[in-house]
Structure 1
Amino acid sequence: MNSKVLKLISPIPPSVNHYLGYRTVKKGGKYLAVSYKKPEAVKYQKNFKEYIIRESLIQHWDKVEDKFRHVYYDCVFYFPRIDMDANNYFKCMLDAVTDAETVWSDDTQCRERVQGLYYDSKNPRVEITITVADNVGIFDNEEQSDNFEDRCKHCSRYKRNCKLLRQAKEGRIQEEITDFICSKYKESKE
């Protein structure tokens, strides 16, 4: 898998409080609240998306296509003020990364982590480091996943597209698998 690192620098994105706006529309005689992206969010995402696409090419980043493979999104925030909450700034950023279509398939793959909070009123920014997580589904690493699947290949369920194996690779906890041993294993007759 990709052992490379993608490093990005973002301006401080719009917070979740300034990401979406709401307006009322009349539909079928009823009034409904409809959300829309605010102009500052649209502008930020367009610019950051273009930057991500360029940097992915320059840094030779390989997109993580497997939607069950997770990616660490480590951020160091340099806020202009001390009253800002880092957790409010991920949504707009991550949506821009997903829209770039060069880093991951979906932001459900993302494990966002705040690695530092500093205050720099002259140059506010977010320094981002993206790396692929070692684990594969419920397995601690690719080797553990491969070893589990190698054993599965001798099971009668394997050729029928074993649901337990598939869900283990998706990261689903199942009572049939304990300590990486499947209780439904049955030696294939072949």
Structure 2
Amino acid sequence: MRLNLTLPLPVSINVLYINQYVWDARIRKRVPTGKRILSKEGEKVKKQIIVAASNQIKTQEWDYEFTKVHYLYMDTLIYFNRKGRDDNNIYKLNNDALEKIVYDNDSRVLTRTQRILYDKKNPRVELTFTPVEYIGIFDNEETYIEFLENCKTCSRYKRNCSILKAATEGYVQDEIDEGNCFKYKQTKINE
């Protein structure tokens, strides 16, 4: 499973949000509310990203449902319009715009900048989404299946083992070390 997108270059986080102000009649001044709202430029680019991603995803096989429970790598090739831009400042708008289109929640997206280039005529980001290899605390599917097969012979397994569930969700636990569960108890034959 793989998804490739070419999208408009997001605006920097530095200009993405503006502070929201309200009029304070007591001091006859506008004062900040502490809230930040998306700037007009941010709204414009976000819409462009949404349209471009929506159109491109239609032509590729992508399993949105998979993203609800799995992590993804987002490898990024950035074409800035000028030198001096910071790659970390563009991800907020980009990741928020792609939420509910490419993936369910951007908390499951592992962002990796692979390269930065400069293109004054066509600034853009090229994204490649791929599933991560690991499952929870397990390095890959093979080690997960090996652990799971052992779990199936444990008396805790039939009762929906909380240790297995937490390990699959990525929780590090004292009960598991180097692939061994210290709470393992062999199932009795009559169980």
The worse-fitting range, judged by mean Cα deviation, of 88-97 and 38-47 is 38-47
Kept in 2, the 8 Å contact 1:98–1:106? The answer is yes
1:155-185 CA-to-partner distances (Å, cap 9, x unmatched) read 1211222111111111111111111111111
Q: TM-score normalized by structure 2? A: 0.88
Structure 1 ranges of 4+ moved more than 2 A: 24-27, 29-32, 64-68
1:167 is matched with 166
% same residue: 38
1:122-151 CA-to-partner distances (Å, cap 9, x unmatched) read 111111111111111111111221221121
1:89 is matched with 90
1:117 is matched with 116
Q: Give distance in 1, aligned partners of 2:127 and 2:163.
A: 36
Residue from 10, 13, 27 that aligns with 1:13? 10
1:18-46 CA-to-partner distances (Å, cap 9, x unmatched) read 2211113479x997322211122222222
Kept in 2, the 8 Å contact 1:26–1:32? The answer is no
Per-residue deviation, 1:47: 2.3
2:140 is matched with 141
1:49 is matched with 50
Q: Give distance in 1, aligned partners of 2:32 and 2:117.
A: 44
Q: TM-score normalized by structure 1? A: 0.88
Q: Name the SS for the 2:46 alignment partner.
A: helix
Residues 1:26 and 1:174: Cα distance change in structure 2 (over 3 Å): farther
RMSD (CA atoms)? 2.1
Per-residue deviation, 1:53: 2.3
Rg larger in 1 or in 2? 2
Structure 2, unmatched stretches of 5+, are none
One-letter code aligned to 2:6: I
Q: Give distance in 2, aligned partners of 1:26 and 1:186.
A: 66
2:131 is matched with 132
Q: Name the SS for the 2:58 alignment partner.
A: helix
The worse-fitting range, judged by mean Cα deviation, of 111-120 and 59-68 is 59-68
1:24 is matched with 21
Q: Give distance in 2, aligned partners of 1:163 and 1:50.
A: 42
Per-residue deviation, 1:153: 1.5
The alignment of Structure 1 onto Structure 2 pairs a total of residues equal to 184
Q: Give distance in 1, aligned partners of 2:175 and 2:23.
A: 51
Kept in 2, the 8 Å contact 1:15–1:89? The answer is yes
